[in-house]
Amino acid sequence: MLGTANATAEPLELALYARDAGVAEGHAVAVCWPATGAQLAAAVRVARAHGRPFVVRGSGTGLAGGATPLGDPVVIVTTRLDRILEVDARSRVAWVEPGVLNLDLSRAVRHLGLHYAPDPSSQQACTIGGNVGTNAGGPHCLAYGVTSAHVLAVEVVLPDGEVALLGGLAPDEPGYDLRGCFVGSEGTMGAATRIAVRLTPDPPEVATMLCAFASVEDAAATVSETIASGVLPAALEMMDAPITRAVEDFVGAGYPRDAQAVLLVEVDGLPAGVAEQAAQVEAIARAHGATAVRTAADEAERALLWKGRKSAFGAIARIAPDYYLHDAVVPRTRLVEVLGEIARIAAAHRLLVMNVFHAGDGNLHPLIVFDGREPGTWQRVRAAGTAILEACLDAGGVLTGEHGVGVEKRDLMPRLFGPDDLDAQARLRDAFDPDGAANPMKVLPRGSRCGELQRVPEGTWI
């Protein structure tokens, strides 16, 4: 049905799909590129008929190994499913195929005064289908919510090959929120073939501010007080000194090189509310010793400020050949102490860590930069990464805010969830995928099902 041109088992091609943008590596037995939803469904059925699991992937920008093929699966690539099927400006809904790139959707509806709100840093490259898989976030999710808040319905191929429409355009579909279960399930509940997303009207007024500080503590305290004061910014991003300088060298966004930390704050809405909130943010920043507060004068300056933030990861290449990007969330009231702890951990492991993150919702992205060619470095990077996650959990945080669990954090799940909690999650997954055929060995560690460890393996001599 797919034709030989759209599927391969050539070892060299398979190797290209052995991992995503994370570090975990796997192995696919075949890769295919369906061009229609029916072909995607057929690919799932063919894989199952041959006793193979399947892994669906978009652009492979995921950082947690969610698209790493484990269990010798068939990899189904959605990049050819890249059509925007329908845009209903009046109802503010678009139907898209899973391979549509995140930014392409916003570009396609810009002339209507609309956009697609979730805006991960990889939005030029990542697909909406992949965003649905990880329940992706982005700077503007602070006010507008992560992917799940923007997905109204998903047509999916369930792991048994059946096609089902989960959710719908009507506001209250009766029964369980299967759509909500599917979004963020990291490909373990089936494959999306069509997605209905909510489009967000562009705000009538936007103010984008850059606040510079002489210490990370002052910046973090400004974040906490801004949230506590009742301002709900559209975005509230923080960058520490090393990343600020790297970005400035890279794109010349006008960030102050002497600052120890900068905040990029955006407030939007109606004119008076924007003016009031911008004034509030500025007052709070100045009360915490901001050395400079600058508001973008026009759209060009605003775009430049954002370009700096979104180029952060590209800028790292100028400092060291490798980086390991983490993703964890802590309560916003604990930012100051957790950032201090991260600095201590990095120092103890003789590593450079940079921080560029969604401060407004406590979503940390500690970035360890290093040269992997130096012997022993990887071990230190891994040890420091685990210690950082532990510190976040100890502060009442969670393992991931937007990248997903994948394989990277799978075995840390018991740090956050007890055996009964994991058992419940495993039961939910099994309801969708009783054979464990969809993206096996992801999200939940082995032994999540109650009694799983006690079960006598098939063929055991007893």
Partner 1 sequence: MDLTPLQEAVASARTVVAVGARTQWRIGEPVAPDAAVVRAPAGVVRHEPADMTVTVGAGTPFGDLDRVLAAAGQECPLDPADPRATVGGVLAAGLSGLRRLRLGPLRDLVLEVRVVLGDGRVVKGGGPTVKNVTGYDLPRLYVGSLGTLGVLAQVTLRCRPRPTVSRWCRAPEPPPAGTRPSAVLWDGERVQVCFEGVRADVDAQCRGLPEIDGPVLPAGAHRGRISVPPGAVRPLAASLAALRGLRWCAQLGVGTVHVATDDVPALVAAREAAHAHGGWLLCEQGAPGLPAFGRPLPNAALMRRVKDAFDPDGKFAPGRLPLAGAPAAGARA
Residues 91-120 that bind partner 1 (CB under 8 A): 91-93, 113
Q: Is 228 in the site for partner 1 (CB under 8 A)?
A: yes
| Minimum separation from the CB atom of position 153 to partner 1 (A) | 10
**Would you count residue 446 as binding partner 1 (CB under 8 A)?**
no
- Considering only residues 358-377, where is the footprint of partner 1 by CB under 8 A? 358, 361-363
The residue behind tokens 């949230």 is: 227
If one asks whether residue 329 binds partner 1 (CB under 8 A), the answer comes out as yes
Residues 315 and 312: their CA atoms lie apart, in Å, by 5
Q: Does 169 bind partner 1 (CB under 8 A)?
A: yes
Site for partner 1 in 234-263 (CB under 8 A): none
**Cα separation of 281 and 283, whole Å?**
5
We find the least distance from the C-beta atom of residue 307 to partner 1, in angstroms, to be 24
Partnered with residue 93 across adjacent β-strands are 88, 198
Task: Please tell me whether residue 145 binds partner 1 under the rule CB under 8 A.
Answer: yes
Nearer to partner 1, 187 or 242 (CB): 187
Residue 355 CB neighbours (<10 A): 23
Tell me the three-class secondary structure of 272-326, residue by residue: HHHHHHHHHHHHHHHHCCCCEEEECCCHHHHHHHHHHHHCHHHHHCCCCCEEEEC
Which of 288, 332, 349, 442 forms a contact with partner 1 (CB under 8 A)? 332
- Closer CB to partner 1, residue 86 or residue 374? 86
CB atoms within 10 A of CB 336: 17
Tell me how far apart the alpha carbons of residues 315 and 323 are, in angstroms, rounded to a whole number: 11
3-state secondary structure of 65: coil
Among 68, 79, 121, 135, binds partner 1 (CB under 8 A): 135
Instruction: Scan residues 389-428 and list those touching partner 1 (CB under 8 A).
Output: 396-405, 409, 413, 416-418, 420-425, 427-428
Smallest gap from residue 367 Cβ to partner 1 (A): 18
45-74 footprint of partner 1 as x/- string (CB under 8 A): ------------------------------
- Which residue's CB is nearer to partner 1, number 172 or number 298? 172
Among 39, 102, 185, 260, binds partner 1 (CB under 8 A): 185
